[in-house]
Chains A and B, each alone.
Chain A
Amino acid sequence: MKPNPLRLDGDRRLARIAGPSSLVIFGVTGDLAFKKLIPAVYDLAAGGLLHPGFSVVGYGRRDWDDEQFRSLVLESISAHAREEFNEEVFASLRDGLRFVEGTFDNSEGFTRLAEVLAELDQSRGTAGNHAFYLSIPPGQFPVVTEGLAAAGLAHSVGAGWRRVIIEKPFGQDEESAAQLNATVERVFPPESVFRIDHYLGKETVQNILALRFANSMYEPIWNANYVDHVQITMAEDIGVGSRAGYYDGIGAARDVIQNHLLQLLALTAMEEPVSLDASAVRAEKEKVLEAIAPLTHIPTSAARGQYLGGWQGGRQVKGYLDEDGIPADSATETYAALRLEVDNRRWQGVPFYLRTGKRLGRRVTEVAVVFNDAPSHLFPEVKQQQLGQNALVIRVQPDEGVTMRFASKVPGPAMQVRNVTMDFGYGHAFTETSPEAYERLILDVLRGDAPLFPRHREVELSWRVLDPVMRQWASTGTPEGYQPGTWGPPSADQLLARDSRVWRRP
């Protein structure tokens, strides 16, 4: 890129706006497109972060015309956008909305798409810059990417760029991930492939980097000398619901641990990167993932469960096996917990406990760094273990923020101590609504900035951690049942009890 004379050094008021471009959504008829992607595009436009010629092309099997598509987009924006509805913003977006009817395996559809994109290059000045969002099952990636290639859409013409965005799951194990990757990279060069893990677009996840590296009080104690263990939790209180078809056979570990939780672990445990550039951050994350010790004895380092029917929060709920679309003998786990160790100097002997599940006590995602016990000779409470360990909890959602737990004197004549918490809530300190994860991620794709997108190597390394567990689970036994609204099966508690620890209640 040539230097821009108007970007003076130190001019931090000027936002970077995405240049002229379009976003083509495959699988536009799905929930994600209308609930997340299109509202996010609108919010970006309302924030003035998109070029006025920015266009969105929907590709799908319905026989909609542009007008029908536009009214659906309008509905989706009114229902789900974060920013207030604004006539002018929508009007400019509206002119760039197109719908192309086509199937994934039919070249006519792709030819029509090519025509529409050529027309947009003219009428909206999108200049050959197009991003393809594959909001479709991974099984269909090959046919779509081949279709794009055959229509001449996969390779950039002139100065324009072509990018492809794919969503998890990135395969079901290391091997299938590699195949999937080969399929996509046969058509698009690696730097044009953007893997979206929407968790990484969340403000609080990015705040892990800020908390650790923009402060000087945490980093000195962020290691095995002071940290007793780390617990990373992502819990949902809902059941499998409408995702039954996708979920069965995949399970909690593949669905959540492989991507979200291992990414959170990587951000929590990594060394300080040399810069915040995509490649520098990625290099550090890869090092941590690579340093995770291979699990040698699965039964003592992993636990799994499946929710039973019962009463949860005042309502009777079905057990997993009774859910619609789930085979009655399914061995898919809806709860998974792992005990991992990161084999490097910083984390030697510090276990990282990861857990995720459905129908748990409440919806919460957090990273808890639990510190060593204080010396006990001064305060009997410490000795009697009435006083918990100090903990620093990064709450990813909901009620985003950071909590610190420490001991304080109870007012009164006696020297008595008790745990108190110090709480920082994003909602208190920054009352502006945080941008949705998808806004940040779509903007990054359009600007070609990729610090928050995992590369294939990271995907591969995280499968390497999980694969032995999945193999073991597939070959023996079934998941242990747990009551809905609890924090998982007894075997998960034993996982920590073996180390004389307990799960904290999130």
Chain B
Amino acid sequence: MIVELNDTTSTEIQKKLIRVREEGGAVALGRVLTFLIHTSEPQEEKVISAANEASREHPMRIVVISEPAQSSSSQPRLDAEIRVGGDAGASEVVILRPVGQGENFLPGLVNGLLLPDAPVVTWWPNQCPTCMADSDLGQMSQRRILDSLELGDGFEALSAVSAGYHPGDTDLAWSRVTGWRTQLAATLDYLETEHIDSARVVGMAGNPSAMLLAGWLGLALGRDIQLDSTAHRGIGGVSEVSLETPDGVVKLTRLDERTVTLTVPNQPDFTLFLPRRPLESLLAEELRRLGPDRVYGDVLLNGLKWVRT
């Protein structure tokens, strides 16, 4: 069900939310967190649908602050939309559309809509304050999510992000390499090799995920990691990772959008199902643990310096 509210206030939205719930029998209990999304209007539907999908794993209240693409000269006011039931996955969605920029102070806008006691996570899908933790929304959230892939060149983006880093920050470019990291770590688990002579990552030029992956290897191995940015376009940020061990090479090579080849010394090659992940799966991963991701912080602050291009 979708309810539109024009020229409204947070208090009215809250009242309406309770009424809609009672009438519709959509008992929105058991929500585990409030998910704030700060986006621009053209991106709205894409990010809401990803968040709705992620809410199947993490039932939550989604509050979207959708900035109009063009600033309007009309009288400042607040328009809103409430979605529950079938239109909202396992969540309830409140979309706030402040009209007439600058008049609306963000914390005052959303505070009344946060769930009591539940953690708050904020996501900036396609832009990002220079320091997430210092921003208005960042200050009220336990966890802050950005996507450095949307911020232009990877190196510049990551150095900006690392300059403003605070524990609790996280990056979808980092969750994009979880699958690669899992496979590499699992392979070393059974090879029982402590010693790695060298490591190399091949990825697309300026891709932050490839850099974070190389940075992670640098941090873990304490040595320079070669980042080769010559990968052809169109098959994802990372296209190959290889580790040189005394027994031979451990290598993951992307074959297509869905599979990679795993090469391990003294074993046949395997085709591994490691699909490129949609936004909702990345978000679901980010919401699984709400404590700061120390390893990400460490990679950002101390790992990237090992990356050689």
User: Chain A interface (Cβ within 8 Å of chain B)?
Assistant: 1-8, 10-17, 19-20, 45-46, 48, 51-53, 86, 88-89, 91-92, 122-125, 127, 159, 424-425, 428-432
Contact with A along B49-66 (1 / 0, CB 8 A): 000000111110000000
Q: Which residues of the other chain, B, contact A4 by a CB distance below 8 angstroms?
A: 185, 188-189, 194
* Selected A-B contacts with CB under 8 Å, 17 pairs: A5-B194, A7-B189, A8-B295, A12-B293, A13-B285, A15-B182, A16-B186, A19-B189, A45-B273, A48-B273, A51-B190, A52-B262, A52-B272, A92-B272, A125-B267, A428-B29, A432-B56
Q: Is B196 an interface residue (CB 8 A)?
A: yes
Q: Which residues of the other chain, A, contact B185 by a CB distance below 8 angstroms?
A: 4, 6-7, 14
Within 8 A of A (CB), among B242-283: 258-259, 262, 264, 266-268, 270-274
Q: Which residue of chain A is the closest to B91 with respect to CB atoms?
A: A431
Is B294 touching A89 in the complex (CB atoms < 8 A)? no
Q: Which residue of chain A is the closest to B189 with respect to CB atoms?
A: A4
Q: Which of A8, A124, A431 contacts B57 (CB 8 A)?
A: A431
Is A1 touching B56 in the complex (CB atoms < 8 A)? no
Is B220 touching A5 in the complex (CB atoms < 8 A)? yes
Q: Which residue of chain B is the closest to A19 with respect to CB atoms?
A: B190
Is B273 touching A424 in the complex (CB atoms < 8 A)? no
A396 to B217, CA, bound (A): 43
Is B196 touching A431 in the complex (CB atoms < 8 A)? no
User: Chain B interface (Cβ within 8 Å of chain A)?
Assistant: 27, 29-30, 32, 55-59, 90, 175, 178-179, 181-186, 188-190, 192-194, 196, 217, 219-221, 258-259, 262, 264, 266-268, 270-274, 285, 289, 293-295, 298
Q: Which residues of the other chain, A, contact B59 by a CB distance below 8 angstroms?
A: 428-431
Q: Which residues of the other chain, A, contact B285 by a CB distance below 8 angstroms?
A: 13
A131 to B188, CA, bound (A): 21
Q: Which residue of chain B is the closest to A7 with respect to CB atoms?
A: B185
Q: Which of B188, B266, B267, B270 contacts A6 (CB 8 A)?
A: B188
A127 to B270, CA, bound (A): 14
Q: Which residues of the other chain, B, contact A429 by a CB distance below 8 angstroms?
A: 30, 32, 59
Is B184 touching A6 in the complex (CB atoms < 8 A)? yes
Is A5 touching B274 in the complex (CB atoms < 8 A)? no
Is A13 touching B30 in the complex (CB atoms < 8 A)? no
Q: Which residues of the other chain, A, contact B196 by a CB distance below 8 angstroms?
A: 5
Q: Which residue of chain B is the closest to A93 with respect to CB atoms?
A: B273
Is A88 touching B295 in the complex (CB atoms < 8 A)? no
Q: Given the known inter-chain contacts A48-B274, A92-B272, A430-B59, please indicate yes or no for A8 contacting B186, CB distance below 8 A.
A: no
Q: Which 7 A-B pairs have the closest CB atoms?
A: A19-B190, A52-B270, A125-B267, A429-B30, A17-B186, A6-B185, A428-B30
Is A14 touching B30 in the complex (CB atoms < 8 A)? no
Q: Which residues of the other chain, A, contact B57 by a CB distance below 8 angstroms?
A: 430-432
Q: Which residues of the other chain, A, contact B264 by a CB distance below 8 angstroms?
A: 125
Q: Which residue of chain A is the closest to B196 with respect to CB atoms?
A: A5
Q: Which residues of the other chain, A, contact B188 by a CB distance below 8 angstroms?
A: 4-6
Q: Which residues of the other chain, A, contact B268 by a CB distance below 8 angstroms?
A: 53, 122-125
Q: Which residues of the other chain, B, contact A20 by a CB distance below 8 angstroms?
A: 190, 267
Q: Which of A10, A124, A425, A428 contacts B294 (CB 8 A)?
A: A10
Q: Which of B30, B181, B182, B267 contacts A48 (CB 8 A)?
A: B182
Q: Which residues of the other chain, B, contact A89 by a CB distance below 8 angstroms?
A: 273
A125 to B186, CA, bound (A): 15
Q: Which of B181, B262, B294 contacts A14 (CB 8 A)?
A: B181
Of listed A14, A16, A159, residue having the most chain B CB within 10 A: A14
A91 to B285, CA, bound (A): 26
What distance in Å separates the Cβ of B74 from its nearest Cβ neighbour in chain A?
40
A20 to B272, CA, bound (A): 13
Is B178 touching A14 in the complex (CB atoms < 8 A)? yes
Q: Which residue of chain A is the closest to B293 with respect to CB atoms?
A: A13
Is A6 touching B220 in the complex (CB atoms < 8 A)? yes
What distance in Å separates the Cβ of A443 from its nearest Cβ neighbour in chain B?
13
A15 to B182, CA, bound (A): 6
What distance in Å separates the Cβ of A18 from its nearest Cβ neighbour in chain B?
8
Q: Which of A19, A46, A51, A431 contacts B56 (CB 8 A)?
A: A431
Q: Which residues of the other chain, A, contact B190 by a CB distance below 8 angstroms?
A: 19-20, 51, 127
What distance in Å separates the Cβ of A204 from its nearest Cβ neighbour in chain B?
15
What distance in Å separates the Cβ of A430 from its nearest Cβ neighbour in chain B?
7
Is A88 touching B32 in the complex (CB atoms < 8 A)? no
Q: Which residues of the other chain, A, contact B55 by a CB distance below 8 angstroms?
A: 431
A123 to B219, CA, bound (A): 35
Q: Which of B58, B193, B194, B271 contacts A88 (CB 8 A)?
A: B271
Q: Which residues of the other chain, B, contact A430 by a CB distance below 8 angstroms?
A: 57-59
Is A19 touching B270 in the complex (CB atoms < 8 A)? no
A1 to B185, CA, bound (A): 13
A14 to B179, CA, bound (A): 8
Q: Which residue of chain A is the closest to B195 with respect to CB atoms?
A: A5
Q: Which residues of the other chain, A, contact B182 by a CB distance below 8 angstroms?
A: 13-15, 17, 48
Is A53 touching B56 in the complex (CB atoms < 8 A)? no
A156 to B58, CA, bound (A): 43
A143 to B64, CA, bound (A): 65
Q: Which residues of the other chain, B, contact A425 by a CB distance below 8 angstroms?
A: 30
What distance in Å separates the Cβ of A348 from its nearest Cβ neighbour in chain B?
36
